[in-house]
Amino acid sequence: MHHVLDMRAALLRWYDEQGRSLPWRVRPEDRARGVIPDPYAVWLSEVMSQQTTLAHAAPYWGKFLAEFPTATDLANAEREIVLSMWAGLGYYARARNLHKCAGVVRDEYRGVFPTDQKTLLTLPGIGPYTAATIAAICADEATNIVDGNVERVISRIFAYQDALPKGRKALRELAGTLVRADRPGDYGQALMDLGAGICAPKNPDCDICPWAEWCKAHAQGQETLYPKKEKKKTIPVRHGYAYVLRCGDYFLVEARPDQGLLGGMLGIPTSNWGEKPASHNAAPQTKDGHRNWQRAGEIKHVFTHFELRLDVFTAETSDRLEGEWTRESAGLPTVFKKVVKLAQKKTGPSGPAKS
CB atoms within 10 A of CB 213: 12
How far apart are the C-alpha atoms of 302 and 252, rounded to whole Å?
24
Do residues 91 and 71 lie in contact, with contact meaning Cβ atoms separated by under 8 Å?
no
Active-site hit among 17, 46, 78, 307: 46
Q: Closest Cα partner for 23 from 1, 50, 48, 54?
A: 54
With respect to ligand SF4, which residue has the nearer C-beta, 223 or 311? 223
Taking CB under 6 A as the criterion, the residue among 37, 185, 188, 204 binding ligand SF4 is 204
Number of residues that bind ligand SF4 (CB under 6 A): 14
Would you call 141 a catalytic residue per the annotation? no
Taking CB under 6 A as the criterion, the residue among 212, 228, 250, 301 binding ligand SF4 is 212
Half-sphere exposure of 170 (CA within 13 A, CB side): 10
With respect to ligand SF4, which residue has the nearer C-beta, 161 or 272? 161
State the amino acid at position 336 in one-letter form: F
What character string, x for contact with ligand SF4 (CB under 6 A) and - otherwise, covers 155-174?
Answer: -xx-----------------
CB atoms within 10 A of CB 209: 22
With respect to ligand SF4, which residue has the nearer C-beta, 111 or 197? 197
Shortest Cβ 152–ligand SF4 spacing (Å):
8
Residues in CB range of 317: below 8 A, 6 or more apart: 245, 246, 247, 286, 288, 290
Taking CB under 6 A as the criterion, the residue among 218, 238, 239, 256 binding ligand SF4 is 218
Quickly list DSSP for 325-355. EES--TTS-HHHHHHHHHHHHHH-SSSPPP-
With respect to ligand SF4, which residue has the nearer C-beta, 153 or 179? 153
Shortest Cβ 198–ligand SF4 spacing (Å):
5
How far apart are the C-alpha atoms of 54 and 177, rounded to whole Å?
28
How far apart are the C-alpha atoms of 241 and 249, rounded to whole Å?
21
299 is an interface residue for ligand SF4 by CB under 6 A: no
Residues in CB range of 195: below 8 A, 6 or more apart: 147, 148, 149, 150, 151, 152, 153
What character string, x for contact with ligand SF4 (CB under 6 A) and - otherwise, covers 129-158?
Answer: ------------------------x--xx-
Residues 219-278 that bind ligand SF4 (CB under 6 A): 223
Taking CB under 6 A as the criterion, the residue among 199, 247, 266, 339 binding ligand SF4 is 199
Shortest Cβ 187–ligand SF4 spacing (Å):
15
Shortest Cβ 191–ligand SF4 spacing (Å):
10
The residues annotated with a catalytic role in the active site are 46
Q: Catalog residues that contact ligand SF4 under the rule CB under 6 A.
A: 153, 156-157, 198-199, 204, 206, 209, 211-212, 215, 217-218, 223
